[in-house]
Amino acid sequence: LALIAVTLSLIYSMNIEGVSLLQHGFVAVGVGLFVYFVIGGIFKHFTAHRGIFHSIPAALLIGLVAMSIAGTFNVGEKTELAVGLAITMGYLAHLLLDEINSTVNVSGMPFKPKKSLATALKLTSSSKTITVLTYCTLLLFVVVNAGSLAQIFNW
């Protein structure tokens, strides 16, 4: 996220006249550090590894968020959909590979699954509040991206 923030801040600030290249760099680095340490710190405080962000609904949600962000660049509904699908498929591939990795045993011992087995491809969190919040947010982004999502049925 910090790298994305740096890139977006550079794209945005390059359109402002009267600002030196050094100032653009300072702004981009400042934004990146803020996202990494402040936003990342908040994120780490309120989340757990293999929590709700390591789930199928989170993959769908991040894909829809990516579609919303792509929509702000007026790239067209088909491109928004392609971006959302690419992000979602990459996210799901990560979850699937994590699940496969949980079954691997290269120590030469008889198969003994890791504790993380069956935790990557889940639909809920251990917290009902977080699960409900995630699904409500997912529904909100489905509504926001309804026009682009309708393209699926038009193909």
SS3 50: coil
**CA 102, CA 96: separation in Å to the nearest integer?**
10
Contacts of 70 (CB under 8 A, 6+ apart): 79, 80, 83, 84
**CA 29, CA 22: separation in Å to the nearest integer?**
11
Residue listed under structure tokens 């990459």: 90
Copy the structure tokens of residue 87.
């992000």
Share of residues in the chain with pLDDT > 90 (%): 31
Q: When comparing pLDDT for 102 and 86, which is higher?
A: 86
Sorting pLDDT into bands at 50, 70 and 90, what band is 113?
low
What average pLDDT does this structure show over 47-57?
80
Supply the Cα-derived Rg of the chain in whole angstroms. 19
Does residue 33 register a pLDDT over 80? Answer: yes
pLDDT value of residue 112: 65
